[in-house]
Structures are given as structure tokens and as C-alpha cells.
Amino acid sequence: MNNNTSSLVSQQLTAVATLVTNSLTNQNSKRAYGRALKEFFTWYEANGRPGLTKATINQYKTAMLAQGKSPANINLALSAIRKLATEAADNGLLDPALAAGINRVAGINQKGQRAGNWLTKEQAQQLINTPDIATLKGLRDRAILAVTMGAGLRRSEVAGLTVDHVQQRDGRWVIVDLVGKGNRVRTVPVPAWAKAAIDEWVAVAGIDAGRIFRPVNKGGHLEGQTITPQTVYNVVAEHAATISPGVPTTIAAHDLRRTFAKLAHTGGAALEQIQLTLGHASIKTTERYLGVEQNLTHAPCDVLGLQL
């Protein structure tokens, strides 16, 4: 480390990066920040470790723009680097004035709103029926696709689902006490067809307690007690790649969650009910998620049926 306490060596950067990811509670955020910092460290080392300064981070931002990275990815990287600088300063590895300068590096303005990907009803139906249910893996994969799209779960929530989570309430099957993003606890209704897919999988797999979804080896046998969110991602990617033309090539697990929201909204489900199912902190988050805004032409007050 030089006299201006800006040039951290690789071991120090790695140690501080660990502090950054350990401070996060959401697994998706941990992975995203970890990837962003790894890419920054690669660039940092390739450029001779120029020092953690505002000028360096602005230079890195310019490099990311030149690579054609999206504003969202650039802003994520800058957020991770700002947190890195703060942690480094808190641990005496970086001058607080330099950390403050890095925290003033402006992000990239995003114009408009990312639409994201989702499937049509026909494409969603085709995807659910894609796995070969004559095999154990196919039964598992179909159940994963069904619960992801039928209940709008995040992939980490699917991976952590247990037999005890699935219970009856008010005459229907639900997932109770599901702990989601921000440690928010919610109850999620499950459609009958998704429950049937789960039932067929656990019956053949012989699962009556613990995690619902388990690893299946190449021989078609259970191997282990848990799967990771990455497994859910891989299952979606594998089967999405086989369905009809017209499907976005980058369909991921989160896009099935968005598909749930889109189809529910199109079907007439109330926005606040979609919000509760998804576990969003506010109705505005759900509106942004669906790409909908307040409708002043056909407003709720127009269907009250009252008159003077």
C-alpha cells in the first residue's frame, strides 16, 4: 500500500470484497456484487493497480461504456465498488477522503424502463409440458417449472421450498410462511396443476420431509438433499431452449416469475393481490415490474355503478 492509501494489493481487495458480500443478506445480490467486483479486479490488475480513487473509477466507468455494457450493469458495478470503498475505509485500508470521492462517482441515467422477458400463455403452456415425465429428472423439472411460473417464486425460494411449506388454507393449497427478499414473510397460493406436479414428483422420488427439490444424477437417481438457485436457473434455461420459435433466447428463471405476473394481470387479478403473491415491498414496485401505470381513461371509479 502506498502513502496515499489508495493502492490495495490483490489479497486486500479480495478480503474487502468478502466483507462486501458478507454484508448482504440476499443471495442474488451476493452473486451479482461478487461478479461485478471480480470483473473490476481483473480490469484493475490489468491496468497496473492505478489506485482506488475517483479518477480510477471514472476511468473504469468509461471502459464499461466502451464495452457496450448496459446502464443497469454499469450502475450495479458502481454500487459494488462504492461499497468496496466504504468497507476499505472502515477497515483502515483506504483514506476516507478517497472513499468519499468514489461514492460521488455518478451512475448512468437510464431512459425509459426495461421491459424484461416473459412468455405468452401458449408459450408458458408449452414450456410446462416440455420435460420428459417418464424420467425422474423430467418429473422434477416439470414441478420446478410449475411452481416457478404457477406461484411466481424466485429461484432461491424454489430451491429452499420444503414439504412443510405446502399446506391447506381456506380450502386451497398454499405455500405458508415463505421468507423472501428483505426477510419479508408471505403466504403464496398454489394452482391445482402446480400442486399436482409437485405431488407426482415427490411420490415417485419418495420424498415426505425436508426439501422438495433434490439433485438427480445422470443415472436418474436422487443424489443429495438440496439444490441451489443455480440449478433452478439451469432447469429453466435447458427447457426454454427447446420450445417454439419466437421465444426470447435469454429466458431465465426470473422471467417465469414475470410471466406469472403478466398472465395474472391479463387474467384480471387485482394488482395488490399480485403484489402480495410476489412479495413486493410496495405496489409501485409491482407496477414497474408489470410495466403498467395508473389508467386515467378506464379508471376504477368508472365501474362503480353509482349515479346521482
Where do the domains of the chain lie?
A: 10-103, 121-290
pTM greater than the 0.85 cutoff? no
- Active-site position among 30, 31, 69, 181: 181
- Least Cα distance to 79 among 108, 55, 59, 56 occurs for 108
Q: How high is the pLDDT of residue 266?
A: 86
Of 61, 154, 214, 258, catalytic? 154
- Catalytic-role residue among 31, 35, 49, 254: 254
Task: Reply yes or no on whether 154 is catalytic.
Answer: yes
Selecting among 140, 257, 258, 262, the annotated active-site residue is 257
Record: fold of 10-103: DNA polymerase; domain 1 (1.10.150)
CA distances from 186 to 138, 150, 180 (A): 29, 16, 8
CB atoms within 10 A of CB 293: 9
DSSP SS3 for 282: coil
280 counts as catalytic? yes
Q: Which of 126, 127, 164 is nearest to 145 (CA)?
A: 127
Q: Is 221 a catalytic residue?
A: no
- Say whether 82 is catalytic: no
- Mode of pairing for the β-strands spanning 172-179 and 185-189: antiparallel
pLDDT in tens for each of the 308 residues of the chain? 343 446 666 778 888 889 898 888 777 788 889 999 999 999 999 998 888 999 999 999 999 999 988 888 899 999 999 999 999 999 888 999 999 999 999 988 765 445 567 888 899 999 999 999 999 999 999 999 999 999 999 999 999 999 999 999 988 999 999 988 878 899 999 999 999 999 999 999 999 999 999 999 999 999 999 999 999 999 999 998 887 655 555 788 888 998 998 899 888 888 889 898 998 888 877 887 776 665 555 555 565 666 65
Catalytic-residue membership of 289? yes
CATH superfamily of 121-290: Intergrase catalytic core (1.10.443.10)
